[in-house]
Structure 1
Amino acid sequence: MSVTIYDVAKAANVSIATVSQVINNKGRISEKTKKKVHRVMEELNYQPNILASALMGKQTKTIGLLIPDLANPFFSELARSIEDSGHEFGYNIVICSTDYKMEKEAKYIALLKQKRVDGFIFASGFEKLEQVEALMNENIPVVIVARDFPMLPLNTVAIDDYMGGYQAASYLLKLGHTNMGIIALDVWSNRERIRGFNDALKEQNLEMRNDFEYITQGNENLIDAGKAVAHKYVTTSNPPTAIFSCNDMLAIGAIQAAKENGFHVPSDLSIVGFDNTAIATIVDPPLTTISQPIEKMGKEVMDLMISIVKGERKEQLRLTLMPTLVERKSTAKLI
């Protein structure tokens, strides 16, 4: 026999209305009572009927999060931050990994709409806007995280990717490097990082290497992809003295390629990554990288989503966070 809200109220010695307010995070309920009700719900294994609430026009306290690649530590850490922040507000996060495929994105959106989620969070990686525009036309709350679409009136929490690339180039130039390879996926965020990187070079009357090519995103392992591109660089007649990789996974692949080809990092080849995920601290040598404030991004995007769902925010918000360079042992001055 399933546990009902009446059973929870009786066990917690509170009214049914109080239990309902705790579940929906409404009303002026003391923290002591909230904790008591949540404890009883857990002890009784009580599950609120989310679908029934949705059919009655109430919030389901559920948000859909679509990310392109869970295997990328940046997206897994971002998802964790969003999930943790949502949990603090009593919201559940349903995480879907699209693998950069539009058909999977469409499939998950349809599924999440059937589940009556209160809103959608889209992480960077997708390039087409049809699905987002369709949701907006249905007045379903949408927030974009880790990228921006200036052409649409969207709520976004993004990093200044252009400035991140600019910082990377400026730092390597300061170390004396002028011959620099670049490893990047053909996605919006990486293109912005390369634009910033290239502008920093232009300020010094320098140009990008003419053998640079974007990696077309497929199903390959990002470390392997970075390794393959770095291998091409270091086996040319004019190998670079530094490589800028547009995420930490690509940078780790570059470190592996350098070692396998007899290059010492950083005395022979300096390598800079992007994201500052946990993996940057455990690779050998520890990775110099452009840090994204992942935890803050997760909190800000969830705060924004909840304010929209609750009807507290009417105007559009575009929040841009600044990246910072974290210097470790994978870079050195050019001797």
Structure 2
Amino acid sequence: MKPTIKDVARKANVSVATVSRVLNNQPGYSVETEKKVLEAIDELGYHPNALARGLVGKRTKTLGVLIPRISNMVSSQIMNGIEDAAHKNDHSVIICNTDNDGQKTMVYLDVLREKRVDGIIVVSEMLTEEYANKLVELKVPVILISTIDETGQFPHIKVNDEQAAYQATEYLISKGHKNIAMISGTPEDMVAGKPRLDGYKKALRENGLPVKEENIVFGDFWFDSGKECMERLLNNNQGITAIFVASDEMAAGALSTAYKSGIRVPEDISIIGFDNTQLAEMTIPPLTTVSQPFYQMGYKGLKLLLKAIKGKEVNSAILPHVIVERETVKKV
């Protein structure tokens, strides 16, 4: 049988309440008593139940993370940052893979309530009014990573997507490209779709270039969508020399279609992506792209959540992005 807190108290010759105070770093015991309790815990191999301890201190040291696709490279990098920061601060994480399914998300929020999590992180998923109201009901701190809350109720950590897209487009312009297309996310997506599209259009206008609607096609950020969008661009447009693609996965799909169509990158057409996931290094040729600091987003997001749990004020943060030059853009 696993040792219990009563076994620890008996071995240390103290009360259960004293053992509980030691475990929860509460006052009311001597240094000698603390030493006896810790030695008893070590000898017995006692592992206190995190939930039980949390009920005493009103904290479980458990945090919830809502994430749309845990297998996605963006999500995995963010999760690495979250888990590293949690581990270093003696917290555990419950990961909820929502699949962008609203009903599943609501069920997970009920699960996190039952688990008495101390706080919640929402990753890369736009908050609907229903989600936001549910999170408010849970009465725990919430931090958003790589997404926003239009109501302004919850702090967020992300890059400035519009500015990053502007700079990606201007980078192509600086290389001499004038007829630049875009493979965009959905314009209804206020987190990444619309801001990146706005940045692309703004860069063209401010550099004296026309915005051609036939040069813009819409996808869903994933590989197959990139393939299909590239096919549409190649079939319907002439003279395009460069393409800004709103995600690395779609850019990989675009590269695949270009290869199958006998179009050389960057000799015939230049491509720049967005994200700088590991995939950008794996494509042929390696993808020039906008780099987001995903690991840092996750790490900083977790640290901000812990700060909020302690009752301290936290503010939204915009992290820097950079353009990583590889081999898919040439000067014309």
Structure 1 length-normalised TM? 0.84
Query: For the aligned residues, what is the CA RMSD?
Result: 2.9
| Cα gap change, 1:131 to 1:53, in 2 (>3 Å) | farther
Question: CA-to-partner distance for each residue in 1:156-178, whole Å, 9 max, x for gaps?
Answer: 11211111101111100011112
Q: Distance in 2 between matches of 1:62 and 1:252?
A: 37
Mean CA deviation greater in 230-239 or 91-100: 230-239
Q: Distance in 2 between matches of 1:260 and 1:11?
A: 73
Hey, what does 2:324 align to over in structure 1? 326
Hey, what does 2:15 align to over in structure 1? none
Q: Distance in 2 between matches of 1:9 and 1:239?
A: 80
Q: Distance in 2 between matches of 1:52 and 1:131?
A: 28
Q: Is the 8 A contact 2:166 2:199 kept in 1?
A: yes
Question: CA-to-partner distance for each residue in 1:80-126, whole Å, 9 max, x for gaps?
Answer: 11111111101111111212221111111111111111111011222
Hey, what does 2:305 align to over in structure 1? 305
Q: Is the 8 A contact 2:126 2:148 kept in 1?
A: no
Hey, what does 1:236 align to over in structure 2? 236
Q: What SS is found at the alignment partner of 1:267?
A: coil
Structure 2 length-normalised TM? 0.85
* Structure 2 counterparts to residues 19-168 of structure 1, below 5 A: 20-21=23-24, 44=45, 47-56=47-56, 58-168=58-168
| Cα gap change, 1:19 to 1:252, in 2 (>3 Å) | farther
Unaligned 5+ residue runs, structure 2? 13-17
Q: Distance in 2 between matches of 1:292 and 1:215?
A: 20
Q: What SS is found at the alignment partner of 1:121?
A: strand
Q: Is the 8 A contact 1:147 1:158 kept in 2?
A: yes
Letter in 1 for 2:218: Y
Letter in 2 for 1:288: T
| Cα gap change, 1:7 to 1:260, in 2 (>3 Å) | farther
- How far has the Cα of 1:8 moved from its partner? 7.4
Question: CA-to-partner distance for each residue in 1:197-245, whole Å, 9 max, x for gaps?
Answer: 111111022233313243258xxxx211111111211233415221211
Q: What SS is found at the alignment partner of 1:328?
A: coil
Q: Is the 8 A contact 2:86 2:92 kept in 1?
A: yes
| Cα gap change, 1:16 to 1:54, in 2 (>3 Å) | closer
Q: Distance in 1 between matches of 2:179 and 2:73?
A: 29
- How far has the Cα of 1:147 moved from its partner? 2.2
| Cα gap change, 1:242 to 1:135, in 2 (>3 Å) | same
Hey, what does 1:259 align to over in structure 2? 259
Hey, what does 1:214 align to over in structure 2? 218
Q: What SS is found at the alignment partner of 1:256?
A: helix
Q: What SS is found at the alignment partner of 1:235?
A: helix
Q: Distance in 1 between matches of 2:183 and 2:128?
A: 23
Hey, what does 2:205 align to over in structure 1? 202
Q: Distance in 2 between matches of 1:132 and 1:57?
A: 27
Unaligned 5+ residue runs, structure 1? none
Letter in 1 for 2:331: K
| Cα gap change, 1:237 to 1:283, in 2 (>3 Å) | closer
Q: Is the 8 A contact 1:67 1:98 kept in 2?
A: yes
Q: What SS is found at the alignment partner of 2:199?
A: helix
| Cα gap change, 1:181 to 1:56, in 2 (>3 Å) | same
Q: Distance in 2 between matches of 1:65 and 1:90?
A: 16
| Cα gap change, 1:238 to 1:307, in 2 (>3 Å) | same
